């Protein structure tokens, strides 16, 4: 057996593991990176990248049938589902070199392509290689959770790991789960010509601001997606070549079934017990992202059991590099400034607290300011007036923002920056933005916070009266 001693051993070469490896190795630490499957993990191969690529094809098709009032006649798009999937593959291939074994070996990282498991609190094995390290980073990500519905294993269901390889367009896609994956893929498929039914046991897009989520769900329904909330599927089966999903009061039929019912953290095969690493649904870590039972071990990204986003995995990686490479043991992960976006049309994006939590925390001190897309000149010019922004303000500072509308994922960045840096509403209001841009929606919301203070203020009016009296 080959034996390696290293500074940092990272398990998993997805968004989190790769970011730790890049940072640590380029700062001079010795790094071993172990990947059992594809370099790039979920985001590149089965997640963000293919889903956003397919949504882009779908948006192009929708734009042809819905040109709005722009003076262009609608046209029937010739949708080639297989070609759209070829586009997603090309996008993956274009981005893949950035996550490749060769690139990381170029940084001096020893990359091992095998599955890793702990054999002791200080040692991991990957195939015939044993690695002891000063610090370990669990960056094993997550996989689709398949609910134990009667009959589900007897039908050929799809998950995000197989959907993007499907080249025949589903005639009628049944989707179990109305979270971000289910809803993004529902819109992609309805626009590419499938019929789509989403069966959601609770509320669809439940993690999002309810007002903003409702706008997205209404749009999907208008486009023809059947979204059934409160649908408890009790049995899955097949009949006459169709897949059927039974709830208490109805049977739904489709040609294909996509399971998008949440995620399971990848801990199987890792043998965390042998490493004295306490886990529940994820690795149990504190805000320092270190295992509560084995201080040599960190967890990042989906494996850390917090928000499951690529940018969060990257953020975690930065904390780990500070702590494990630079010895800044005080480095801690925050949650309050992390943006979340769902790339439907209209987009949905949030940062910071939701309204309910903000009210609990700040009570009557909380102020809510809003601005609507239909007052934004660029949105009017482009015929993209559906949308709104809601900013939660406490003590003059934004503590949360929710946006639904075109480019919401871009617009939320300004609020993420303000919250991350403890900036006041005046920081947004004082920023001069180019005209006409969608980002002026943010500024209008910030101005909305100051308007009553400036324009409905009797003391200010008296002061201005005096100034005007004495000004030469
Ligand atoms: C369909 C879909 C769309 C998404 N869209 C977005 C989006 O638009 N924006 C966004 O921010 N997030 C999105 N996400 C979430 C995002 O993909 C994940 O949060 C992110 O990939 C997590 O990164 P990670 O490093 O924790 O794990 P991963 O990227 O999953 O990487 C984990 C890696 O570890 C490897 N591994 C696991 N166990 C072992 C082991 N024992 N030994 C060796 N290797 C192992 C795996 O093979 C994998 O390569 C999406 C997810 C899905 C499924
Ligand atoms: N745009 C993005 O950034 C993006 C896109 C996709 C996914 N993601 C990430 O991936 C994570 C996972 O996404 P997801 O949509 O799979 O999970 P999710 O947990 O967000 O949503 C799953 C949904 O499935 C429902 N569900 C569970 N069991 C069910 C059953 N038996 N029948 C019907 N419905 C059932 C749940 O109630 C829930 O609403 C997200 O939380 C997000 O962090 C991000």
- Return mean pLDDT, the chain: 97
- Do 2-39+100-144+264-325 and 152-262 fold alike per CATH? yes
Q: pLDDT tens across 412-462, in order?
A: 999 999 999 999 999 999 999 999 999 999 999 999 999 888 898 999 999
Ligand 2 atom nearest to CA at 232: 32
CA of 96 to the centre of ligand 1 (A): 14
Q: pLDDT tens across 271-286, in order?
A: 999 999 999 999 999 9
Out of 21, 22, 46, 47, mutate this one to test ligand 1's pocket (max ligand atoms within 8 Å of CB): namely: 47
Q: In what order do the strands lie in the sheet with 397-405?
A: 340-342, 347-352, 397-405, 388-394, 367-372
Domain boundaries, the chain: 2-39+100-144+264-325, 152-262, 340-455
Answer whether residue 472 shows pLDDT above 90: no
CA of 128 to the centre of ligand 2 (A): 37
CB of 178 sitting under 6 A from ligand 2: yes
CB of 200 sitting under 6 A from ligand 2: yes
CB of 209 sitting under 6 A from ligand 2: no
Ligand 1 atom nearest to CA at 301: 26
CB of 309 sitting under 6 A from ligand 1: yes
Q: Rounded to an integer, what distance in angstroms lies between the CA atom of residue 428 and that of residue 446?
A: 6
Report whether 14 belongs to an annotated binding site. no
According to the model, what pLDDT value does residue 413 have?
Answer: 98
Match domain 2-39+100-144+264-325 to its CATH number in 3.20.20.70, 3.30.420.40, 3.50.50.60, 3.40.50.970.
3.50.50.60
Average the pLDDT over each of 84-93, 266-275, 438-447, 458-467 and give the range with the smallest value: 458-467
CA of 429 to the centre of ligand 2 (A): 36
In our burial notation (b when 16+ CB lie closer than 10 A, e otherwise), range 188-218 reads bbbbbebbbbbbbbeebbeebbeebbebbbe
The residue contributing the CA closest to ligand 2 atom 19 is 262
The predicted model gives 391-396 an average pLDDT of: 97
Q: Given this structure, which CATH class describes domain 152-262?
A: alpha beta
The residue contributing the CA closest to ligand 1 atom 5 is 48
Q: pLDDT tens across 208-252, in order?
A: 999 999 999 999 999 999 999 999 999 999 999 999 999 999 999
CB of 316 sitting under 6 A from ligand 2: no
Give the number of the ligand closest to the Cα of residue 310.
1
Q: Which residue has the tokens 């617009």?
A: 411
CB of 348 sitting under 6 A from ligand 1: no
CATH architecture of 340-455: 2-Layer Sandwich (3.30)
């Amino acid at each position: 057996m080959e034996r390696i001693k290293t500074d940092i051993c990272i398990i998993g070469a997805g968004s989190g593991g790769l970011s730790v490896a890049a940072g640590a190795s380029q700062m001079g630490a010795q790094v071993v990176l172990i990947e059992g499957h594809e370099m790039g993990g979920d985001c590149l191969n089965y997640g963000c990248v293919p889903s956003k690529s397919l949504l882009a094809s779908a948006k192009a098709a929708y734009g042809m049938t819905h040109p709005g009032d722009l003076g262009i006649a609608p046209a029937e798009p010739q949708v080639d589902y297989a070609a759209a999937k070829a586009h997603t593959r090309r996008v993956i291939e274009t981005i893949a070199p950035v996550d490749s074994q060769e690139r990381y070996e170029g940084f001096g990282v020893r990359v091992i392509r095998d599955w890793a498991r702990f054999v002791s609190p200080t040692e991991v094995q990957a195939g015939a290689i044993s690695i002891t390290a000063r610090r370990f980073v669990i960056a094993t990500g997550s996989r689709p959770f398949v609910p134990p519905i009667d009959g589900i294993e007897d039908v050929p269901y799809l998950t995000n790991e197989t959907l993007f390889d499907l080249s025949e367009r589903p005639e009628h896609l049944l989707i179990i789960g109305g979270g971000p994956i289910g809803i993004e893929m529902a819109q992609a498929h309805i626009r590419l010509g499938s019929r789509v039914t989403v069966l959601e046991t609770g509320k669809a897009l439940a993690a999002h601001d309810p007002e903003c989520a409702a706008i997205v769900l209404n749009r999907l329904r208008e486009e023809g997606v059947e979204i059934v909330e409160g649908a408890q599927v009790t049995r899955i089966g097949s009949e006459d070549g169709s897949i059927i999903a039974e709830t208490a009061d109805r049977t739904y039929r489709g040609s294909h079934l996509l399971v998008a019912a949440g995620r399971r953290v990848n801990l199987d095969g890792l043998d965390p017990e042998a490493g004295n690493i306490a886990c529940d649904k994820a690795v149990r870590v504190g805000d320092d992202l270190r295992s509560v039972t084995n201080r040599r071990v960190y967890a990042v990204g989906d494996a850390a059991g917090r928000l499951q986003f690529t940018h969060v995995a990257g953020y975690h990686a930065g904390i780990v590099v500070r702590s494990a490479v630079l010895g800044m043991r005080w480095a801690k992960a925050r949650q309050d400034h992390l943006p979340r976006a769902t790339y439907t049309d209209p987009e949905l994006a949030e940062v910071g607290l939701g309204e309910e939590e903000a009210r609990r925390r700040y009570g009557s001190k909380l102020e809510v300011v809003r601005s609507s897309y239909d007052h934004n000149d660029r949105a009017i010019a482009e015929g993209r007036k559906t949308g709104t922004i809601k900013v939660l303000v406490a003590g003059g500072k934004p503590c949360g923002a929710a946006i639904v509308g075109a480019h919401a994922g871009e617009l939320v960045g300004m609020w993420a920056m303000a919250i991350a840096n403890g900036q006041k509403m005046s920081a947004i209001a004082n920023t001069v933005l180019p005209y006409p841009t969608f980002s002026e929606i943010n500024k209008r919301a910030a101005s909305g916070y100051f308007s009553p203070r400036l324009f409905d203020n009797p003391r200010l009016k008296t002061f201005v009266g005096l100034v005007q009296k004495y000004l030469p």
